[in-house]
A and B are shown apart, each in its own frame.
Chain A
């Protein structure tokens, strides 16, 4: 009996030792990343490679417009839907994909990790007529070189239940100023993502000018802490944090939320169902007086793309006026292509989503990736990892 115990103990140790060796082998390999980041732009479009592997937001690649693309170019579309910007960054780093529909809070990270290449926009004929205020932006152009093709954009609106919230608010203070927000305690709906810290920064930019916030995504320690503290105070009044649009729609429809930050999509969905929701009116420029955060998505080209020609064809296809109109209406966002506004099924669509209203977008701070290097040469800004940790602490 004793001998048998000793025997099985030895076997157990052998298994452990084997695992350690296996682990070390695993830790050792894989670090030999290829340094082939020449960044050489494609100069001339060649023949399609027969397929293209994409990463996209749900609703960006649908058969309605990917099947015609396949027929036209012979490039079979393999699409992988990602749920968050973080997931997109991770998938792109695998090097298995040709391109991604990256939001601004992913694009700089992709460039920093050498996961994407510059895009030669002269190979994308439809780029010409894209809204000019979407070109040459800090989240799609780096060191003066374009890194992608704008796809569409949206703003984070203030939405409220017009039966419960009176008078109609014209400022984010209704959910961020603790004194006013406590009136709606337990009924406030806030976005569940570290990037929501920027919403507090936009508010503080107006209400605490002495903090000196310029860009809500470039926050030094003091500015960052002020924003985080504001959200920690807000936490007590938040009824529910939402990350999926459907979750917020059900909260507003069932009376669990009366005021909060939302996307245009949820607002129009709820309005369409006849729920008494309201958002900032035209007289206020459709946004609270402080402005708002928003997103602008960009199709980017992988630095290890196996099908670059097909990817270029896809980038041109997705901003083709009719296709871009289809995508924008399907998803509920403003199209990037100016000519798309003539092609939408709902003729009011571009007006509703402010696609052709540059004054509206001037007050929108598009999502960017927070980086330590925020352009002042001091590297003293809080990076995205700090934002993630702070977000955990805010939610508690």
Chain B
């Protein structure tokens, strides 16, 4: 049996490859792209007001609702803005850490730092957010620490969401930048110095351009993860993000939820196009 099967495949490289890839590609097309396609189609459906059942038919009313109701614009802007802020914050925080890890630390120090960056990823997402919720609460440790200086913490709200998201996604920024900096040969930095460039010039003209694709790769993680999250806003603020509105509508008004789900997709595509224009994918 096995022998005969082997015979079928012998000398037919296309069949071999095709059979090997059938599983993963089938999963990608049906399970992944297929469900995405269903999502896109559902955005044009509507809901019967009485029974609450989905009516399959073509209509643009969901998109009209999204454009006409000012609250949806507010929510989209809030989400995109926080996502951008989180991305910038993480990039600024991650670069020095990654640089130290890649170029300065000893082998041992490097290993310790990699573990330290990865460690938070091993604990549950929910535990981390709830820990922040406790820290940011009125009687929490942040207010306690600030009290002697007559200050008060940010409490729950947009600032809290920004803080927590920046904390949550930092490892996703550190690791790509670390990998990117690791690939830059030290000889390039020495050469730059030999040719008379100061540390700042070396950073600006040599390191940053070479590490830029890595920063963009990290920013795709932080931006997309913030764009899609709905649990953190729910636990540390009263503000709705795109994900919250999708969650609230998913049962009653699946078509509207689908239309809303297209917003992050469009934003991400635009973001990737800009990143490509900036040359982020040239070295990949």
Listed in ascending order, the chain A residues whose CB lies under 8 Å from chain B are: 15, 18-20, 22-23, 26-27, 31, 84, 86-87, 89-90, 93, 109, 112-113, 186, 238-241, 243, 247, 250-251, 254-256, 371-373, 383-385, 388-389, 391-393, 395-396
Q: Which residues, 217 to 243 on B, are CB-close (under 8 Å) to A?
A: 234-235, 238-240
- In the bound complex, do residue B139 and residue A384 qualify as a contact, i.e. CB atoms below 8 Å apart? no
* Contacting residues, chain B, for A384 (C-beta < 8 A): 52, 252
- In the bound complex, do residue A109 and residue B52 qualify as a contact, i.e. CB atoms below 8 Å apart? yes
Pick the 4 closest A-B CB pairs, nearest first. A86-B251, A254-B137, A255-B138, A393-B71
- In the bound complex, do residue B49 and residue A383 qualify as a contact, i.e. CB atoms below 8 Å apart? yes
* Contacting residues, chain B, for A87 (C-beta < 8 A): 251
| Distance, CA A385 to CA B71, complexed state (A) | 16
- Interface presence of B253 (CB below 8 A): yes
| Distance, CA A90 to CA B247, complexed state (A) | 13
* Contacting residues, chain A, for B71 (C-beta < 8 A): 392-393, 396
Pick from B34, B50, B52, B245: contact of A22, CB under 8 Å: B34
Q: A255-B139, A395-B238, A396-B74 are in contact. Are A112 and B52 (CB under 8 A)?
A: yes
- In the bound complex, do residue B240 and residue A89 qualify as a contact, i.e. CB atoms below 8 Å apart? no
Q: Which residues, 181 to 197 on B, are CB-close (under 8 Å) to A?
A: none
Pick from A241, A256, A371, A391: contact of B50, CB under 8 Å: A371
Pick from B56, B133, B240, B251: contact of A27, CB under 8 Å: B56
- Interface presence of B17 (CB below 8 A): no
- In the bound complex, do residue A247 and residue B138 qualify as a contact, i.e. CB atoms below 8 Å apart? no
- Interface presence of B29 (CB below 8 A): yes
| Distance, CA A90 to CA B251, complexed state (A) | 6
**What are 25 A-B pairs at a CB distance below 8 A?**
A15-B33, A18-B29, A19-B37, A26-B38, A89-B52, A90-B251, A93-B53, A109-B52, A112-B50, A186-B155, A239-B156, A240-B238, A241-B238, A250-B133, A250-B137, A255-B137, A255-B138, A256-B137, A256-B138, A372-B49, A384-B252, A385-B252, A388-B249, A389-B65, A396-B74
- In the bound complex, do residue A113 and residue B51 qualify as a contact, i.e. CB atoms below 8 Å apart? yes
| Distance, CA A84 to CA B249, complexed state (A) | 12
- Interface presence of B47 (CB below 8 A): yes
* Contacting residues, chain A, for B19 (C-beta < 8 A): none
Q: Which residue of B lies closest to A87 (CB)?
A: B251
* Contacting residues, chain B, for A241 (C-beta < 8 A): 238
- Say how far B227's CB is from chain A's closest CB, in angstroms: 18
Q: Which residues, 9 to 54 on B, are CB-close (under 8 Å) to A?
A: 29-30, 33-34, 37-38, 40-41, 47, 49-53
- Say how far A302's CB is from chain B's closest CB, in angstroms: 16
- In the bound complex, do residue A388 and residue B248 qualify as a contact, i.e. CB atoms below 8 Å apart? yes
Q: A86-B251, A393-B71, A395-B238 are in contact. Are A372 and B139 (CB under 8 A)?
A: no
Q: Which residues, 103 to 142 on B, are CB-close (under 8 Å) to A?
A: 133-134, 137-140
Which has the most chain B C-beta neighbours within 10 Å: A87, A186, A239, A395?
A395
Q: Which residue of B lies closest to A85 (CB)?
A: B251
| Distance, CA A384 to CA B50, complexed state (A) | 9
* Contacting residues, chain A, for B251 (C-beta < 8 A): 84, 86-87, 89-90
- Interface presence of B69 (CB below 8 A): yes
| Additional A-B contact list (8), CB under 8 Å, known A113-B53, A241-B238 | A19-B34, A186-B155, A240-B238, A372-B50, A392-B71, A392-B72, A395-B240, A396-B239
* Contacting residues, chain B, for A385 (C-beta < 8 A): 47, 49, 52, 252-253
| Distance, CA A239 to CA B33, complexed state (A) | 41
| Distance, CA A391 to CA B30, complexed state (A) | 36
* Contacting residues, chain B, for A395 (C-beta < 8 A): 238-240
| Distance, CA A247 to CA B139, complexed state (A) | 15
Q: Which residue of A lies closest to B256 (CB)?
A: A389
| Distance, CA A84 to CA B139, complexed state (A) | 31
* Contacting residues, chain B, for A238 (C-beta < 8 A): 238
* Contacting residues, chain B, for A243 (C-beta < 8 A): 234
Q: Which residue of A lies closest to B65 (CB)?
A: A389
* Contacting residues, chain B, for A31 (C-beta < 8 A): 56
- In the bound complex, do residue B37 and residue A23 qualify as a contact, i.e. CB atoms below 8 Å apart? yes
* Contacting residues, chain B, for A19 (C-beta < 8 A): 29, 33-34, 37
- In the bound complex, do residue A396 and residue B52 qualify as a contact, i.e. CB atoms below 8 Å apart? no
Pick from A23, A86, A113, A256: contact of B156, CB under 8 Å: A256
| Distance, CA A204 to CA B50, complexed state (A) | 26
